[in-house]
Each structure stands twice: as C-alpha cells, then as structure tokens.
Amino acid sequence: MSSPLRIHRQAGVTLLEIDNPPVNAASAALLRQLREALAQAAADAACQAVVLYAAGRSFVCGADIAELQGPAAQPRVDLFNPVMDALESLPKPVVCAMHGMALGGGLELALACHYRVAHPDSQVGLPEVQLGILPGAGGTQRLPRLVGARHALEMISSGKRVGAQAALDMGLLDRLSADPPRAAGLAYALDLLREGAGPRPTCLRQVDSGGLDAAALRQARADAEARPQYPARLAIVQCIEAALTQPFRAGLAEERRLFEQCRLSHTSQALRHLFFAQRQAAKLPGLPADTPLRPIRKIGVIGAGTMGRGIVTNFLGAGIPSVLLETRQEALDKGVEHIRRTYDGQVAKGRLSDERVRAALDCLRPSLDPADLADCDLVIEAVFEDMQIKQDVCRMLGVRCKPGAILASNTSTLDIDVLAQASGRPADFVGMHFFSPANIMRLLEVVRGRETAPDVLATVMRLSKTIGKTAVVSGVCYGFIGNRMLESYLREADFLLMEGASPRQVDRAIENAGLAMGPCRMLDMAGTDVAARIVIEQEKNGLRPDDPAYRAVVGRLLETGRLGQKAGKGYYRYEGRQAVDDPEVQALCEELARRHGIARRDRIADQEIVERCLYPLINEGARILEEGIAYRPGDVDVVWTHGYGFPDYLGGPIFMADHVIGLPVVRDRLTHYADVKGNAQGYWTLSPLLERCAAQGTTLSDTHTNRT
Ligand code: T1G
C-alpha cells in the first residue's frame, strides 16, 4: 500500500504532496502522516515555508466517509483537529494549493493553512450537510473568520460548491493560478517569503457578521427546526452562532459536540448508506470495471409521446444526436413542440441558457422514416404499453438496426425476454425503464434480460451517468424492482379505502411517515387510468390475484371516468391543482365494500395504514433480493429514494426495515395481519429471507445477493 503523503523539498520550501486515490480522501492514515510531516517541518531549520497540495485530478474531497461509521469513528475524526492546529500554529507560512475540488475536510485543511491559492477552474465546498453531518474539523469556526458569517452559513447549510472566482471574491482564496498545484503553491510561498510575510492563523481573525443579523439567524434557526428529520441543519446554525458569540476554542468544542451528535443520528447513517449505495449500484457483480463499452454516438427513440419525448430530451442535453421516430406527422410535430416548450420554460426560469437549448435542439432529428435508425448505436422503443405493438416494433428494430446496435425497451411491466426474442437479437437487447417525467426523474431501471450481453449492460450503465441518471440493474420480473414493490402498497391502499379510511387519511398517514406523496394523490397525478390498465394487463397475463376486490377502487375510478387530476377528479375532486375530498369517492368505496363483503370500520389507525402499505412493500423487497432480481439491498433503497419519493433520511425501505423499524417488528406485524385478515391470496406470506433474518437477528443489508 503506497503512502498517501509524499514530502519534497525545493528552494527552502517543504512540499507536502497528498496522493490517496481516487479522491484523495483524508483518511486516518493520511492525517497521521500529515501530523508527523508538519512536526518535522516545524523543526527543520532549512524549511522556511510549507506548501500543501495533492496529486491526481483533485485536491482532498473530504474525510473518508467510510471511516465515519463504527466504534473507531470518533477517534478517527479526532485526528483532524490536531492536524489543523499543527497547520495553523506552524511558525512558518503555510500555503495550500488547490485544484479540481476541495470539499469537506479537504477544504477545512485549506482553511487551517495561512494562505490559499487555487486553479481558476477549481471548486470548493462543505457538503457535509448532504451526509447528515456538519464540517467537523473547524470549518464552522474558520470559514466565518474568512468570509463572514452570512456567506459561511449559506455555504455550510446548502452544502453547495463555490467556484474559484467567487471564493476569491468572498475572501476564501487569496489568489488564482492556472499553474499545476505544486508550481502554484511554490511560487506563492516564495513570493510570501520575499515579502517577509509570516504565518497568518485563521483562528486569530474576528468574525464579521457579513450582514447576518439577529433576525436572519432567527429565521435560519426556524427553517432548520421546521425539518427535524435533518438535525444537522439546526446544528449548523448553532455552530455559526457559536462562531459569532464565543472564542475560537469554545466554538470548536461546540462544533465537535454537535458533529458527534449528528454523526450518530439515524439520518446521517441513512444518508451515508445512500451515498455508497448509489455508487455501488453502478457496479455489476462479475463484470470487470474495464469491460470494453460499445460506442454510443447516435441514438434513436421510437414514440414521441410523453415518455418518448422525455427520454430523448435526456440525450439532447448530453449533446448526443438523436432520432425521434413517429408513424404520424401530427404526433411527431406534437412531440417536438412539447420538447421546445419544455426548453422554453427552463430558459424562462433561468435554468438553461439559449445557447444550451440551441445546442440541444441541434441534436434532435425528428423522423417518420425507420431507415433513419440504420446508423444509431442505441435505439429505445417507447411506444404504447401493449405486448403485441412492442413485439412488432422490436422485430422491426432487429432488422433495421445495424449489427452491434443496442436495442432497448422502456416498458414498465412487460417481459423483456419476450421482447428480446421478438427482436431476434436478445444479446443486444436490454430494458431501460425511465420514470415519468423521463427528463426529470433521476432513476433508471436497467433490466438485464436472460441473454443480455455483459458489454451491453456495462455500456448502458455508463451511458446513464452521461445523461445524469442513477441507474439500478433489475432482473426480469413483473414490475422489475420499483413497481413490483409498489403493487402491494397500492393494493392495501385500495383495501383501506373500502374498509373506511378516506384518501386524505391514507395519504396523510403515509406522508407523515416520510414519503413525499401518498398513494391516492400519486395515482391522481400519474393518472388512475394508467394504474387501472396495469391491473387489466396483469389479468391478461394471468398475474392478477384471484380476488374480485383486488384494486377494485382504481378499477372503478377508471370505469367512472375519474382519471385523476387531468380529468378534474380521481381519488379527489380537483379545483385547479387543489385536491378536495369528494363524497362521491366515499360512496363509491362504500358500494364496493358492500359488493365485496368487506366490513367497514369507523376508525382505522394511521399506524395500521403505514404498516399495511409499507411492510408488504418491504416484504416484496426481501423477495426481490432472495430471487436475485436486485443485486444488493442498497440497490432497492436507491430505486425507492430516487424514483418514488421515499425519504432519504430513512435510507430507503430496506435500510429502514433493518435499522429503524427492525425486521422482527416487520415480521410480527405481517403475521398479525395474516391472522386478522386471512391470507387466502398470500398477501401476507412472509419472504423466507426476511423471516430467516428476523429469526437470526441479522439484517437484509447483511445479505449480499450477487448474481452474475
Ligand atoms: N470518502 C470515501 N470514499 C469516497 C469519498 C469520500 N469522501 N468521495 C468519493 N468516494 C469514492 C466513491 O465512493 C467512489 O468509490 C469513488 O470515490 C469515486 O467517487 C471532517 C467528516 C468528490 C464530487 O461529501 O461528492 O469531510 O465506487 O463516483 O462522480 O468535516 O465523490 O469507485 O469504489 O462520486 O467523480 C465530505 C463526497 C466528507 C464529498 C467526485 N465530502 N464525494 O465525484 O466520483 S465528510 C464529501 C463526492 C467530511 C469533515 C467531514 C464525489 C466527488 P468507488 P464518485 P465523481
């Protein structure tokens, strides 16, 4: 294992080069070596100044997040401040030369140095809040001393990166240099020595409020207290208040106390879990990271409807020439017009520049001629969700597309293997399930067919990063990962309505549990007809439970034209976008209860709603792991937090089951509902994996189901 720190000497300057790939994380080993190197520099009479810089593509991108977990985490974090003290108290000028990114503990190292130079293209930030913690190495006390309390509060609370020029303007940096970091740092150090400039400890500076007055602090505190699920937000305000009102050491002590409190919070453990889970999801077990990828220079999307035009927009934004194919000019024109309008809206909101839009639209090639697909490297079909129609399209693609082109389907429920066979090129075939609106939602389920070639999977996974998607691989099953788990959640929501709960109560209970939107409101937005037709497709494919009451409410909504928000009524009645309780829906549910012999109750506890909707969802997730449909528990959590509004502070359904609720509770409650409601349809049958983990006291996250 090579050392993460190299020491050079040149022109009386000690050059400390950090080299800890891939992101120069400030590991415990690096911190120990830094401390030793600084002690040597302090004692070295030949050393007149010190420069701290890094090799590779970036300066230090923070503490090693993996080291924040477990019993030895606190001692490791406690390694930071002695290094900061050693930098700041060195009796010789210390220069930090940054390039790429300086984040978290990396920027805190720079703040503890006496002078700071950075490449004009570099970015700096303190993103700890995104991990549910706060800068724990003096950042909350030093940054206000350099840039003022207002800028510091904004930077730390948002976790956002700041460009080099802005950092220079606010006083965080002292100079910019386009030289490589070692040269930039050395030049600056020699300039300082020539000028006779000595050490300049940040801790000795006074904190300027920067316009952050008492009212603004009160507001910041109130905003933080409004989101108790993210305790780091309030802790950050408290740290800034300490910087404004207490001596440096006292402020540092307050920071350390609050850092530890946040690090141990469920929220931070959940967010750190998701940080790694999202990156793990991009890894395909058994597939070497250097698998050669198929070049993707031009793509095609078939279908200019809602999904097709959303999908193609992702590729336009990445500058990839894209054919948008339709069968009718009117449909094609409508699709293109919608794409233009979407871009116009983003320009109006200042999210995109005119030139970015022009560049994107220059990549768009509307077409009615399938021959235009001939030189595409990837073609995605997004036609009507009907097996026959999709098979015909896949058959055409198998003939029209050049050898080696990847063929993909955006289907959300149909069997990828059947479509792959229809194309005649199953090795080239893969599922790419985008989530509506496809140009906004980050999640992409990449469905691995029985014969999908490894390089096809690897290519699509890499391409997903290019178009800004978080991709998760799913095996072939009904509904893949997300919609398969969603099915039991929606099933119970409908049953609860027939048993006497209102849409408002169901939604409020689920939203109070943390989901962004309850099931009724969600289906009204997506269109109850979409959900009802999926049930009809299930029936066609023999997948619908033999239970006449199954999803009876959404079926009735379709029959009565209550298609959701777009029709002005669904589970709710709509006054504009305002969802209003509708007595007609209650009457409809009462009538269905009578028809299906379902006993209604005057009162249904919110806890029952949460358990009946979320625990079967968790149980289905355990089955998905057991069957190898998902490679890892974290993959399931990424699907739900990135595609279904599951709260990230709960880490996803599997993390929540393992670490918040506890598997024995999930098991016992599922068993309870099987007892009180009967289990003729198998709705409450426990996943053997969940049952086994609950019995053994292990977690689903302990299982690492790798399927090659
Ligand atoms: N610790 C450990 N591993 C890290 C890491 C980190 N800080 N950052 C990245 N990695 C791994 C990542 O898991 C992946 O591993 C590989 O590096 C490439 O990452 C005291 C306590 C820097 C913008 O929050 O935002 O400092 O999958 O795929 O897209 O106050 O990584 O290859 O095995 O994301 O080019 C604060 C987190 C920490 C920054 C680069 N710092 N990192 O993005 O690469 S807390 C952060 C990022 C802290 C102090 C506190 C991004 C990036 P693998 P990647 P990328």
Q: Please, what sign has the CA dihedral across residues 140, 145, 148, 149?
A: positive
**Nearest atom (ligand 1) to Cα of 64:** 1
423/464 Cα distance (integer angstroms)? 23
Based on the domain organization, do 512 and 556 belong to the same domain? yes
| CA dist., res. 120 & res. 100, Å (int) | 9
What are the residues facing 444 on neighbouring strands?
434, 471
**Are 647 and 693 in a shared domain?**
yes
Q: What is the pLDDT of residue 577?
A: 87
Virtual torsion, Cα 196, 52, 30, 130, nearest 10 deg: 110
**Which residue minimizes the CA distance to atom 10 of ligand 1?**
23
The total domain count for the chain is 4
Specify the DSSP element, H or E, that contains 234: helix 231-245
685 and 672 in a common domain: yes
> CA torsion, points 292, 295, 301, 306, in degrees to nearest 10?
70
Asked whether the beta carbons of 53 and 183 are under 8 A apart, the reply is no
Q: What is the pLDDT, as a whole number, of residue 489?
A: 97
Q: Is residue 125 part of a domain?
A: yes
Give the tens place of pLDDT for each residue, 125-155: 999 999 999 999 999 999 999 999 999 999 9
586 part of a folded domain: yes
Sign of CA dihedral 692, 695, 696, 697: positive
Residue nearest to atom 16 of ligand 1 (CA): 22
User: Which amino acid is present at 177?
Assistant: S
Question: Looking at the predicted structure, is the pLDDT value of residue 473 above 70?
Answer: yes
pLDDT by residue (tens digit) across 105-114? 999 999 999 9
Task: From 400, 431, 426, 430, select the one nearest 413 (Cα to Cα).
Answer: 431
pLDDT, mean of residues 45-64 = 97
Q: Are residues 76 and 131 in the same domain?
A: yes
Place of tokens 């460009």: 163
Judgement on whether residues 359 and 331 belong to the same structural domain of the protein: yes
In angstroms, rounded to a whole number, what is the distance separating the alpha carbons of residues 94 and 56? 21
Alpha carbon separation from 76 to 30, 79, 345 (Å, rounded)? 11, 5, 48
E-strand spans in 398-557?
406-409, 429-434, 443-447, 470-474
**pLDDT value, residue 707:** 41
Instruction: Say if residue 449 is in the same domain as residue 415.
Output: yes
Answer yes or no: do 382 and 452 share one domain.
yes
User: What pLDDT does 1 receive?
Assistant: 67
In a domain, 270, yes or no: no
Domain boundary, last residue among 577, 603, 629: 603
Residue 214 lies in a domain: yes
CA separation (Å) from 140 to 67, 345, 403?
21, 38, 57
Q: At residue 36, does pLDDT exceed 80?
A: yes
Say if 291 falls within a structural domain. no
Cα separation, 620 vs 186, whole angstroms = 59
Question: What CATH number did the domain enclosing 545 receive?
Answer: 1.10.1040.10
Residue 543's region, left for phi above 0, alpha for psi from -120 to 50, else beta, is: alpha
Q: How confident is the model at residue 553 (pLDDT cuts 50, 70, 90)?
A: very high
pLDDT digits (tens, 9 = 90+) for 208-224: 988 898 999 999 999 99
Say how many Å lie between the CA of residue 126 and the centre of ligand 1: 12
The residue count for the chain: 708
Strands 13-18 and 49-54, bridge-based pairing: parallel
Predicted local distance difference test score (pLDDT) of residue 609: 98
Give dist(CA 412, CA 434) in Å, integer. 8
- Which amino acid, one-letter code, is at 417? D
pLDDT at position 286: 84
Residue 708 has pLDDT above 70, yes or no: no
Asked whether residue 241 falls in the same domain as residue 323, the answer is no
Residue 671 CB partners (closer than 8 Å, separation 6+): 684, 686
Q: Is 108 near ligand 1, meaning CB less than 6 Å away?
A: yes
Q: Judge if the beta carbon of residue 444 lies within 6 A of ligand 1.
A: no
Q: Which of 34, 61, 142 to mutate to test the pocket of ligand 1 (most atoms within 8 A of CB)?
A: 61
Among 476, 511, 526, the domain boundary falls at 476
Q: CA 173 to CA 110: how far, in whole Å? A: 9
Q: How far apart (Å, rounded) are the C-alpha atoms in residues 698 and 693?
A: 5
Is 25 close to ligand 1, i.e. is its CB under 6 Å away?
Answer: yes
- Structural domain contains residue 286: no
Is the beta carbon of 100 within 6 A of some atom in ligand 1?
A: no
Active site residues: 108, 128
Examine the domain organization and report whether 219 and 314 are in the same domain. Answer: no
Q: Is 533 exposed, middle or buried (0-12, 13-18, 19+ CB in 10 A)?
A: middle
pTM above 0.85, yes or no: yes
Which tokens is 13 given? 């300057």
Residues 108 and 231 in one domain: yes
In Å, how far are 282, 341, 575, 645, 664 from 311, measured between CA atoms? 20, 15, 31, 20, 41
Burial track 135-157 (b if 16+ CB lie within 10 A, e otherwise)? bbbbbbbbbbbbbbbbbbbbbbb
Contact 53, 6 (CB under 8 A): no
Q: Give the CATH number of the domain where residue 656 resides.
A: 1.10.1040.50
CA distance 139 to 109: 9
Is the C-beta atom of 181 inside 6 A of ligand 1?
no
Measured from the Cα of 139, ligand 1's closest atom is: 30
Distance CA 237, CA 254 (A): 11
Band of residue 620 on the pLDDT scale cut at 50, 70, 90: very high
> Could you give the CA distance from residue 58 to residue 61 in angstroms, rounded to a whole number?
7
H/E stretch holding 253 reads helix 248-263
**Range(s) of the domain holding residue 691:** 605-707
User: Is a pLDDT exceeding 80 seen at residue 704?
Assistant: no
CATH classification at residue 468: 3.40.50.720
pLDDT score at 340? 95
- 512 Cβ neighbours under 8 A, 6+ residues apart: 606
Q: CB count, 10 Å around CB of 359?
A: 13
Please indicate, yes or no, whether residues 595 and 664 belong to a single structural domain of this protein.
no
The answer to the question of residue 210 being in a domain is yes
pLDDT tens, position by position, 364-406: 999 999 999 999 999 999 999 888 999 999 999 999 999 999 9
d(CA 453, CA 472): 17
Rg (CA), the chain: 29
Domain boundary among 553, 579, 603: 603
d(CA 609, CA 584) in angstroms, rounded, equals 22
Residue 279 in contact with ligand 1 by CB distance below 6 A: yes
Shared domain check, 522 and 648: no
Query: How many whole angstroms from 15 Cα to the centroid of ligand 1?
Result: 25
Token pair 């208040």 is found at 241
**Which residue out of 18, 23, 67, 469 has the highest number of ligand 1 atoms within 8 Å of its CB and is therefore the one to mutate?**
23
Q: Is residue 543 part of a domain?
A: yes
List Cβ neighbours of 480 (8 Å cut-off, separation of 6 or more): 412, 431, 433, 445, 447, 474, 629
Distance CA(179)–CA(587), nearest Å, equals 73
CATH code where residue 199 lies:
3.90.226.10
DSSP annotation string for 546-592: S-TTTTHHHHHHHHTT--BGGGTBSSSEEETTEEE--HHHHHHHHHH
Ligand 1 lined by 239 (C-beta under 6 Å): no
Query: What confidence score (pLDDT) does residue 372 get?
Result: 97
3-state secondary structure of 299: strand
Omega before 647 cis (within 30°)? no
Residues 609, 509 contacting (CB under 8 angstroms): yes
Contacts with 391 (C-beta within 8 Å, 6 or more apart), sequence order: 418, 419, 422
Q: Average model confidence (pLDDT) for the chain?
A: 95
Work out which ligand 1 atom sits closest to the CA atom of 465: 29
Q: What is the number of the ligand 1 atom nearest to the C-alpha of 22?
A: 17
In this predicted structure, which of 17-26, 73-82, 546-555 has the lowest mean pLDDT?
Answer: 73-82
- Residue 16 near residue 39, CB atoms below 8 Å: no
Question: In whole angstroms, what is the distance from residue 597 CA to residue 589 CA?
Answer: 12
Residue-wise pLDDT for 153-203, tens only, equals 999 999 999 999 999 999 999 999 999 999 999 999 999 999 999 999 999
User: Quick one: average pLDDT of 638-645?
Assistant: 94
Residue matched to tokens 């206000």: 144
